[in-house]
């Protein structure tokens, strides 16, 4: 089967991954809950891996304190995270489709936000949002990748992949919480985000 490449970036990806693999990847829609350190960096890795359909949800705006670990730039401070992340991802591959929702995830809307997604990335800082997404979709057929314990600058080898159920994986050390002694830092956050993206790539190419 011959893939119709939409630009030179996708042509290069097809040569690297194989046309059939790229076609598999491009049929998938990924939902990302949270456009901070995990969500923005995971999205970058996914776009660079050929994924081209996204639903990204976050209500927040970019602050100067975000720039040490999130995929944003100094001149973007004060802007909407989801709007800006879409712009930054389109700069990598202008052919992708990114639906953005600038709103909070709540019990009354979480079911609708990712209903059309095949895969969900849980990328929030707060435990209540993490719990809400996982509990809502755990009994579905959707593949869920979450994270827990990525703070500080301790040994990065402690950030591991934990299989919880067939459709639920958690990346992290499962213990380090962000605080005064354990600030969120780019290396461990980026490693966890890359591991989330790699889990998704592996799942799609090996199981679909």
Q: Judge whether residue 67 has pLDDT over 60.
A: yes
Convert the pLDDT of each residue in 91-123 to its tens digit: 999 999 999 999 999 999 999 999 999 999 999
Kindly indicate the confidence band of residue 208, based on its pLDDT and cuts at 50, 70 and 90.
confident
Answer yes or no: is pLDDT of 154 > 70: yes
Q: In the numeric block, which tokens belong to residue 189?
A: 């956050």
Give me the half-sphere count of Cα atoms (radius 13 Å) on the Cβ side of residue 139. 4
Q: Say if domain 8-207 classifies as CATH 3.40.50.720.
A: yes
pLDDT for position 55: 98
The yes-or-no verdict on residue 127 having pLDDT over 90 is no
Cα–Cα distance for residue pair 61/59, rounded to 1 Å? 7
Structural domain boundaries in the chain: 8-207
> What is the residue whose two structure tokens read 């996708």?
10
Q: Pick the residue with more confidence: 3 or 175?
A: 175
Residue pLDDT, tens place only, 31-57: 999 999 999 999 999 999 999 999 999
CA 202, chain centre distance (Å)? 14
Residue 3 has pLDDT above 80, yes or no: no
Q: Which of the 8 DSSP states describes residue 163?
A: E
Rounded average pLDDT over 117-140: 93
Whether 30 and 121 have beta carbons less than 8 Å apart is answered as: yes
Q: What is the dihedral of CA 114, 119, 121, 122, to 10 degrees?
A: 60
- Residue 78: the pLDDT is 98
pLDDT of residue 2: 61
Quickly count: other Cβ atoms within 10 Å of residue 73's Cβ: 12
User: What is the distance between the terminal CA atoms of the chain, rounded to a whole angstrom?
Assistant: 16
- Residue 28 burial by CB count (10 A; 0-12/13-18/19+): exposed, middle or buried? buried
Residue with tokens 């995830």: 105
């Amino acid at each position: 089967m011959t893939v119709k490449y939409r630009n030179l970036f996708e042509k290069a990806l097809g040569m690297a991954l194989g046309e059939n693999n790229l076609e598999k990847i491009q049929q998938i829609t990924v939902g990302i809950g949270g456009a901070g350190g995990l969500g923005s960096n995971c999205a970058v890795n996914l776009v660079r891996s050929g994924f081209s359909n996204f639903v990204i949800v976050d209500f927040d705006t970019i602050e100067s304190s975000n720039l040490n670990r999130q995929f944003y730039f100094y001149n973007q401070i004060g802007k909407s995270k989801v709007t800006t992340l879409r712009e930054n991802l389109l700069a990598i591959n202008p052919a992708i489709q990114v639906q953005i929702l600038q709103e909070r995830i709540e019990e009354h809307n979480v079911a609708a936000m990712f209903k059309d997604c095949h895969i969900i990335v849980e990328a929030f800082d707060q435990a209540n949002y993490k719990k809400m997404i996982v509990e809502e979709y755990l009994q579905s057929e959707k593949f869920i990748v979450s994270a827990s314990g990525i703070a500080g600058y301790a040994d990065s080898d402690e950030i591991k992949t934990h299989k919880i159920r067939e459709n639920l994986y958690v990346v992290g050390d499962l213990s380090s919480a962000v605080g005064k002694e354990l600030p969120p830092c780019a290396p461990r956050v980026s490693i966890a985000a890359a591991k989330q993206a790699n889990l998704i790539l592996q799942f799609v190419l090996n199981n679909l």
